[in-house]
Amino acid sequence: MSQSMNVVMKEKAEKGGVFTTKEIPVPKSNEVLVKIHATSICGTDAHIYNWDEWSQSRIKPPYVMGHEFAGEVVEIGKDVKAIKLGDIVSAETHIVCEVCEFCKTGQAHICKDTQILGVDVDGTYAEYVAIPEANAWVNPKGVDPAYLAVQEPLGNAVHTVMEGEIVGKSIAVVGCGPIGIMSVAVAKAVGASKVIAVEVNEYRLNLAKELGADVVINPMEEDPIQRVLDETDGLGVDIVAEMSGNARAIDQGLKYLKLGGRMSMLGIPNDKISLDVANDIVFKGITIQGIAGRKMYKTWYQVKGLIESGNLDLEPIITHRLPMEDFEKGFELMESGNCGKVVLYPDSSVLEKYK
């Protein structure tokens, strides 16, 4: 095996990334080395690539970007027990301490000492990545690796939509980026009564329709508050799944959320925002939930079950497949909004097989 590999690095504290080389990591005793077959671009990666305020406060270059992936285990550490050479794995990207109060009480997804793959440690825009055995999720063989790579963001959608009652409930998905359109599909698959997609980009509104949205709203063309109220007998939706991180969209979502409703928030605002706490939160008696990643590992089993049920179609979600060296085009697509999931391939032969 060559001692170096191709990677996409966040080399400097500025917008962009660099296609370069780095030494292949040597797995620790509790880690496995994975040859990456496919890695997809996440909204978090776009925040980091664009070097927004959140990234500036969190990211410490230089390091390898990326965290959503699937690949083959090619080396295992001496203390690895369950993972085998040749296994096809994805990963839970939150690397946790396993010993704190949160980890010991079923809340590892909010472990105070969490390190995130591709955020705090070297990630998956690379030919190889080393991950703890505890984070490896074994997949069936023979499946398109793009579908396996998007299980991690799909888990975000599942966690957001299913973190409360959903069967027979109305839901507005605000922001139909890749996780938003997944949330539309998940909500339909698990029995939401009405799914409303709110998005400014027509390409993504059309994707939301394809994935089952009953109503689509472009807030640049009509008043989303009035339209949602019209669609819900004046009561508002039971659930708002907030994926946009947009201050105005969040404010509007609180206004068309039903009394006693639930707002589950995954989107990351670029800056602090101002809200009418008294009228939109306290007096309405609503619940606001922060959604941090996936519940470990409850959400992964929910994702597995949904996929195996046949009720969730991932095909429309994967809209672009690119060689990893074309990562800049991938980020341009993300910025334009004219895409669903963009998947990068470190190995061109894998791309040729599945494109």
Catalytic positions, written as ranges: 44, 47
Q: 321: Cβ–Cβ under 8 A, 6 or more apart, which residues? A: 146, 342, 343, 345, 351, 354, 355
Query: What whole-number distance in Å separates Cα of residue 79 and Cα of residue 269?
Result: 41
Euclidean distance between CA atoms 148 and 136, whole angstroms: 12
Give the pairing of strands 194-198 and 215-217.
parallel
Q: At 171, which helix (H) or strand (E)?
A: strand 170-174
d(CA 43, CA 346): 20
Query: Where do we find the tokens 């890695």?
Result: 39
**DSSP H helical ranges for 119-193:** 145-149, 151-161, 178-189
Q: How far apart are the first and last CA of the chain?
A: 27
